[in-house]
């Protein structure tokens, strides 16, 4: 496959559509338009111009979160999540060693190989908003 990997943001439409297509929660387009440029780091993978995979890092440099890891269904099972995560981990390596790097894993098998563990001193929590 002739994937084109870049650190450009997806468009708002691409982002919102890919999230829903892979089963992640829907994001408001106006909110996404404001939020995407605030990313610390983004990686997008395209196939003939079409967005097929992405991931982002958000935060302030001391506390960062890996979010929006998504591979379009027709492109799954071909190693794209590794390409996305390897790019993200190269960015993470540039952060201070004190930076706390977190994520919520819908699929834990994806992240253990990059050094992520379930902490024994804390539990991840998220606010129920609806
Ligand atoms: C989860 C997701 C990102 C994986 O993307 P992908 O590119 O299809 O991943 P791959 O199938 O290439 O698998 C990546 C690796 O995990 C391994 N793997 C795949 N399925 C696995 C499973 N069920 N158990 C253990 N390992 C598995 C692969 O062997 C591969 O290993 P390698 O990198 O060491 O060769 C993709 O399926 C997706 O977008 N799902 C919907 C959205 C989602 O859940 N995002 C994650 C939110 S935390």
Q: Could you tell me the pLDDT band of residue 1, with boundaries at 50, 70 and 90?
A: confident
Pocket lining for ligand 1, CB < 6 angstroms: 22-24, 69-71, 76-82, 105-107, 109-110, 113
Residue 21: the pLDDT is 98
Statement: residue 87 has pLDDT above 90 = yes
Mean pLDDT of 113-129: 95
3-state secondary structure the chain: CCEEEECCCCCHHHHHHHHHHCCCCCCCHHHHHHHHHHCCEEEEEEECCEEEEEEEEEECCCEEEEEEEEECHHHCCCCHHHHHHHHHHHHHCCCCCCCEEECCCCCHHHCHHHCCCCCCCCCCCCCCCC
Looking from the CA of residue 105, the nearest atom of ligand 1 is 48
Which domains are seen in the chain, by residue range? 3-114 (3.40.630.30)
Pocket mutation for ligand 1, best pick of 54, 84, 110, 126 (most atoms within 8 Å of C-beta):
110
pTM for the structure as a whole: 0.95
């Amino acid at each position: 496959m002739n994937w084109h990997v870049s650190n450009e943001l997806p468009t708002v439409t691409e982002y919102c559509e890919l999230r829903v297509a892979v089963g992640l929660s829907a994001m408001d387009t106006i909110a996404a338009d404001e939020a995407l440029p605030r990313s610390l780091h983004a990686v997008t993978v395209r196939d003939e111009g079409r967005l097929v995979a992405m991931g982002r890092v958000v935060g302030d440099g001391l506390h960062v979160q890996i979010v929006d890891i998504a591979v379009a269904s027709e492109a799954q099972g071909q190693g794209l999540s590794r390409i996305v995560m390897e790019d993200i981990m190269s960015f993470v390596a540039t952060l201070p060693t004190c930076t706390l790097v977190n994520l919520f894993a819908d699929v834990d098998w994806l992240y253990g190989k990059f050094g992520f563990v379930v902490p024994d001193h804390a539990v991840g929590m998220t606010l129920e908003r609806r």
